[in-house]
C-alpha cells in the first residue's frame, strides 16, 4: 500500500483530510487526521465496528479487511492511503444473512468469544477466493496471522474445509 499512498496536498482548517473511498460497495467520504488508520476510520468515521482492534501493530489479524480484494491489516493502513480504493469489511461479505463460510464457522463450533472472528472470516474468505481448495497446511499458513486466544483453530480449519467442499459442490 505504501507505494500507492498519496501525500495529502491540503488539509482543512481542523487539520483533517477528506478521503473518499468505497466501502462495501458504497462510496463514502470522511474527514480524518492524516495519522488515522483505516481501521479507526472504518470503525469511527464510517460507522462499521465489525472490524476489531486488538494489537494495532499488524500482529493479530483482528482488523483484517479486503483492500481492492486483497486481505490487509487495516491497522497498518492509513485512512488517507485508502483514497479511491475499494474496502470490504466483514459487514460487506454478504448482502443479507450469513455467508456459507460464516455458517460453517458456526457449525464447526469455531466461534467462542467471537472477537477474532470477523478477522478470521475475512482472511478465510480471501483464502478461498484465491485458493478454492486449500489443504490443511495451506489453511493454517494462510490464517497464521489471525490470532484466536479462545484457540478455536482446529474448528476454524474445519469450517474452511467444509466451506471449500460446499463451494466445490455448487
Partner 1 sequence: MTTAPERAIEQRDALGEPSDPYPQGQVGRPVLRYGGGDRTSGAQRFVADLRFPGSLQVALVTVPVGCADVLGIDTTAARAVPGVVDVVTAADLPSPMPRFGVSHTDRPVLADGRVNYHGEPVAAVVAKTLDAAQAAARAVRVDHRELPGVYTLDDALAPGAHRVQEPSLRPGHALADTNVLEEAHYAWGDLEAEEARTEVVVEETYTFPMVTHFPIEPGGTVAVPTDSGGLDVYSPVQHPYLLQRTLASVLGLPLNQVRVFAPDPGGGFGGKQNPKLEPLLAFLALRTRRTCRLVLSLEETFQSMRRAGCRIAARTGFTADGALTFHHVDADFLIGAYADVAPRVMGKGSYVAAGPYRIPGVRIDARAVMTNTTPSTAFRGFGSPQVSWALESQLDAGARRLGLDGLEIRRRNLVAKGEAFVRGESAAAADGEWHQSLEKAAELIGWGTPLPPGRGRGIAVGIKPGATSGLSQSLVRLLADGSAIVYAGTSDMGQGARTLWQQIVADELGAPLDQVSVVSGDTGTVPFDLQTSASRSTVFMGSAVLEACRDVRQRVLALYAESTGVPPEELEERPGVLVTPEGELPLPEAARTALGSLRGEFIGQGTRRLRGKGKHPLGGDAAFYEFNATAIEVEVDRETGELLLTRHVTVSDVGTELNPLQVVSQDEGAAIMGLGHSQMEQLLLDEHGRIRNLGALDYRIPTFKDVPVELVSAAVENHDGPGPYGSKGISEGALLCTAGALGAAVADAAGVVIRDLPLTPERVWAAIQAAEAAQ
- 143 lies in the binding site for ligand FES (CB under 6 A): no
Chain-centroid distance, C-alpha 104:
18
- 62 lies in the binding site for partner 1 (CB under 8 A): yes
Task: Assign 73 to helix, strand or coil.
Answer: strand
In sign, the C-alpha dihedral spanning 46, 52, 53, 58 is negative
Q: Which does 164 bind (CB under 5 to 8 A by kind): ligand FES, partner 1, none?
A: none
- 60 lies in the binding site for ligand FES (CB under 6 A): yes
Q: Which of 34, 58, 85, 162 binds ligand FES (CB under 6 A)?
A: 58
CB 164 to ligand FES: min, Å: 21
E strands, the chain, are 16-23, 26-33, 64-67, 70-73, 86-88
Q: How far is the C-alpha of 128 from the C-alpha of 45, rounded, in Å? A: 30
Sole residue written with cell 466501502 = 23
As given in the structure block, the three cell numbers for residue 133 are 481448495
7-46: which residues touch partner 1 (CB under 8 A)? 33, 43
Q: Which does 72 bind (CB under 5 to 8 A by kind): partner 1, ligand FES, none?
A: none
62-81: which residues touch ligand FES (CB under 6 A)? 62-63, 73, 75
- Closest to partner 1 by CB, 67 or 116: 116
Give the burial class of 151: count Cβ atoms within 10 A of its Cβ; 0-12 exposed, 13-18 middle, 19 or more buried. Answer: exposed
Instruction: List, in sequence order, every residue forming a beta bridge with 27; answer none if it has no partner.
Output: 22
As given in the structure block, the three cell numbers for residue 108 are 464447526
Q: Which of 4, 6, 20, 165 binds partner 1 (CB under 8 A)?
A: 165
Q: Which of 1, 150, 161, 162 binds ligand FES (CB under 6 A)?
A: 150
Contact residues for partner 1, defined by CB under 8 A: 33, 43, 48-57, 59-60, 62, 89-91, 94, 98, 102, 104-118, 121, 139-141, 143-159, 162, 165-166, 169
Amino acid at each position: 500500500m505504501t507505494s500507492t499512498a498519496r501525500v495529502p496536498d491540503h488539509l482543512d482548517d481542523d487539520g483533517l483530510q477528506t478521503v473518499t473511498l468505497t466501502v462495501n460497495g458504497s462510496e463514502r467520504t470522511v474527514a480524518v487526521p492524516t495519522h488515522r488508520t483505516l481501521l479507526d476510520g472504518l470503525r469511527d468515521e464510517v460507522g462499521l465496528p465489525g472490524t476489531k482492534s486488538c494489537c494495532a501493530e499488524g500482529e493479530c489479524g483482528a482488523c483484517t479487511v479486503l483492500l481492492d480484494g486483497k486481505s490487509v491489516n487495516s491497522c497498518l493502513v492509513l485512512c488517507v492511503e485508502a483514497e479511491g480504493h475499494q474496502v470490504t469489511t466483514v459487514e460487506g461479505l454478504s448482502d443479507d444473512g450469513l455467508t456459507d463460510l460464516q455458517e460453517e464457522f458456526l457449525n464447526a463450533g469455531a466461534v467462542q468469544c467471537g472477537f477474532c472472528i470477523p478477522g478470521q472470516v475475512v482472511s478465510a474468505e480471501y483464502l478461498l477466493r484465491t485458493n478454492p481448495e486449500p489443504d490443511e497446511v495451506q489453511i493454517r499458513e494462510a490464517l497464521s496471522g489471525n490470532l484466536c486466544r479462545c484457540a478455536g483453530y482446529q474448528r476454524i480449519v474445519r469450517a474452511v474445509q467444509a466451506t471449500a467442499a460446499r463451494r466445490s459442490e455448487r
